[in-house]
Amino acid sequence: MNEQSNASVGTSPYVSVRWQGDTLGQLELLDQTLLPESLQMVPIQSVEQAHEAIVSLQVRGAPAIGIAAAYAVLVGMQSLVRRRAPIDESVQQARALCDYLATSRPTAVNLFWALDRMRRIIDRNSNVATAVELANQLLREARQIHDEDRRMCHAIGEFGASLFEHGSGILTHCNTGGLATSEFGTALAAILTAHYQGKQIHVYADETRPLLQGARLTMWELQQHRVPSTLICDSMAAQVMREGKVQYVIVGADRITARGDTANKIGTYGLAVLAKHHQIPFFVAAPSSTFDLSIVHGADIPIEQRKPEEITCAFGKRTAPESIQVYNPAFDVTPSELISAIITELGIIHPVDEDRVRRVLSK
């Protein structure tokens, strides 16, 4: 595999989600469970396969999950399109597909946001003649969701890069790049934009236990873009901060409440506490689609519980005794008072409170 790229600013040498063709076309996902050893696009043949790809983290990252789910509705519609099913049956099936895909993961709000957009298209087209016409409208919406995310990622990158000083050390957690989105990413978009602007930054990436998204995915993406970077264990972050190597912390988000409380990969809350102690700015980068204004307090965000085997038998190797109790939340919640700013495609939310969140999102 080519481990270096000639990627220029505004482009990415890989994609996480791809749709090829018309309504009878093909959904392909980059299998992130195989990275960094293999770069492989996997064809999705059924909605059940798409659901499992989301659950098993073949596709991951809140924006990428939403995009994949939108296209997966089309995959589920293809048998109806081929036989030109009547509209009543097609609408019923399309709604059922959205409901089924919504059960794949509970925390990332982009999943529900994208599926809600697909439901609105279904409702607006419930009187069209055939499954073909409905599918055409659904594909148009899925492509629009995909294209909008690209634009949001680049806008977030520009806003985020403006916060970084030349020669800074930047700590990040989990993976927030093109693998987690349509292109360039959220928190990683800010880092990549600063890099291409010539700010000579150095990135410290937490390995991100227990599934090592930072080690396997973020370091791989940084390598593709030739960004100077160093991998550290999660437990090393405090020491790296104390040594003065880090001037900023920036992370992504899977759901943000109306007051700015932020759910992100487990370990994020601890970084925010450490950053506060060391007087280091702590930034969150996310598109407006990641906000859930129906929730005010972070305590009300549903937190996904993952299988114990991700800790006891990660990557096929048993690392803990059998028959033990395991607690494995996929996410934690960082309260808004620990967040210096939230970077969106609409602008920078600072200070982080409910009034400022709603004002910026109203744009």
Q: What angle do CA 58, 63, 64 make, to 5 degrees?
A: 30
Contacting residues for 271 by C-beta, under 8 A, at least 6 apart: 171, 173, 206, 237, 249, 251, 282
Strand-pair partners of 44: 27
Q: What is the pLDDT of residue 5?
A: 36
Q: What Å distances lie between residue 65 and 11, 112, 159, 169, CA to CA?
A: 20, 10, 24, 30
- Residues 254, 261, 292, 332: which is the catalytic one? 254
d(Cα 106, Cα 221) in Å, to the nearest integer? 26
Contacts of 337 (CB under 8 A, 6+ apart): 352
The single-letter DSSP state of residue 36 is: T
pLDDT at 4: 33
Q: Mean pLDDT in runs of 10 for the chain (363 residues)?
A: 39 86 96 95 97 96 95 97 94 96 92 96 91 96 96 97 98 97 95 97 98 97 97 98 98 97 98 98 97 97 95 92 96 98 98 98 92
Query: 334 is written with which tokens?
Result: 């960082």
Kindly report whether the global pTM for this prediction surpasses the value 0.75.
yes
DSSP tag of 245: -
Domains in the chain, please, with CATH? 17-153 (1.20.120.420), 154-361 (3.40.50.10470)
d(CA 78, CA 89): 13
SS (H, E, C) 320-359: CCCCCCCCCECEEEECHHHCCEEEECCEEECCCCHHHHHH
Closest CA to 59 of 152, 179, 146, 225: 179
The pair of three-digit structure tokens given for residue 199, joined into one six-digit string: 């700010």
- Indicate if 355 belongs to the active site: no
Cis peptide before 287 (omega within 30 of 0): no
pLDDT at 6 (0 to 100): 37
Give the Cβ contact number of residue 199 at 10 Å: 16
Q: Which residues of 32-58 are buried (b: 16+ CB within 10 A; e: fewer)?
A: bbebbeebeebebeebebbbebbeebb
